[in-house]
Amino acid sequence: MQRPKKATHAAISRFIASILPAKENDVPRLYHVPRNPRYDPETAVIEQVVLSVTPTPGVYTLIGYPHDEPDVELRAPAPKPHLRPPRTLCFLHRPFTLDRRSVRKGTLVISSHTAFDEVLTVGWNTALAERLGMNVGESLCVQGYKGDPERKIGIVGQVAQHRDLLVGRIQQEFGSTELVQAGLSDEIRVVAIMNAFHEDEVHRVLEMAQRRGWLGLDTPGKHMLYLTGQPRVGGMQAATALGMTVACVGHRQAEDWGIRFLAAGMRTAFPGVHVQEVYEEEIIQARDKKVAV
């Protein structure tokens, strides 16, 4: 029987790297590192992992310094037993507003922005594609976007499903959909999971499927479902003209899917670690502007 992996900073970093490959244009993977001169990621043990899209009040509650709540009657801190907080590692998809001063000593914050968007939202997400019944082994990668020829923005593959059944699966995966527009056919043969939704991308994925012979020439878009995050006017107009079915799950819901996927993987790989998922909106504190006198 295989023994569970020892949960250390290094072990969890390697686990995340196995899912989210490092990219040159991404945020630093080790976004906030403990400053203790004796810090060793190979021996720094983890008891708790916190995952969130952004740093939120709930995240700081789990990775920050504990505060005693004031006693209402005495107007003074009530005595509490000093329990050691769990040794914690945090993963953030969008860490840009992290207040490092509020991060508890010894806590490592790992991040991935570009790679996370690429493989764990509605882009080159092979795990999601498999769950939706796509033939991933023969699927096509949509690559190249905004001047970056290496950027993967989607996957196009074959399915053989009724439209309503497929939309139901999508809603089950994401919890809900922001918008669903039915196309001209209830028979879906090709799905495009895309991290962009403009006219060019709609025509691009259709042409890729046609070149493979997955769609005919007579109203080919009617047998295709375009799955993306945020609705876009140009993309919707192009998809409507082609008779495509469109499912938009929303930008944040797509990111939350990736957090759930990572959390589930963590629980399997490190069963002794308490995995916490935080799903709430970030509250950005505006700094007071100095007024010239």
Chunked into runs of 10 residues, the chain (293 residues) has average pLDDT values of: 76 97 92 95 97 97 73 47 85 97 96 96 97 96 90 96 97 96 96 97 97 89 97 96 97 97 97 96 58 36
Contacts with 192 (C-beta within 8 Å, 6 or more apart), sequence order: 142, 154, 155, 156, 205, 209, 224, 225, 226, 227
148 is in an annotated binding site: no
pLDDT value of position 1: 45
CATH 3.40.1390.30: which residues of the chain?
A: 123-248
251 is in an annotated binding site: yes
How many degrees, rounded to 5, is the angle at CA 115 between CA 145 and CA 42?
160
Task: Say how far apart CA 17 and CA 11 lie, in whole Å.
Answer: 10
CATH 3.40.1390.30 fits 123-248, yes or no: yes
Cα-Cα end-to-end distance for the chain: 73
Nearest by Cα to 112 from 7, 15, 23: 23
Q: Which CATH number fits domain 9-115+257-278: 1.20.1250, 3.40.1390, 1.10.3470, 3.90.550?
A: 3.40.1390
157 forms beta bridges with 191
Residue 220 · residue 228 · CB < 8 Å: no
pLDDT value of position 290: 41
Query: Backbone phi, then psi, for 57, in 5-degree steps?
Result: -55, -40
Quote the distance between the C-alpha of residue 139 and its chain's center.
21
**pTM, two decimal places:** 0.89
* Phi-psi region at 146: left, alpha or beta (left = phi > 0; alpha = psi -120 to 50): left
pLDDT value of position 282: 80
pLDDT value of position 272: 94
Please compute, for residue 58, the number of CA atoms within 13 A of its CA located in the half-sphere on the CB side: 13
pLDDT value of position 283: 73
Strand arrangement, sheet containing 140-145? 140-145, 148-162, 187-194, 224-228, 245-248, 179-181
Element (H, E) at 155: strand 148-162
24 is in an annotated binding site: no
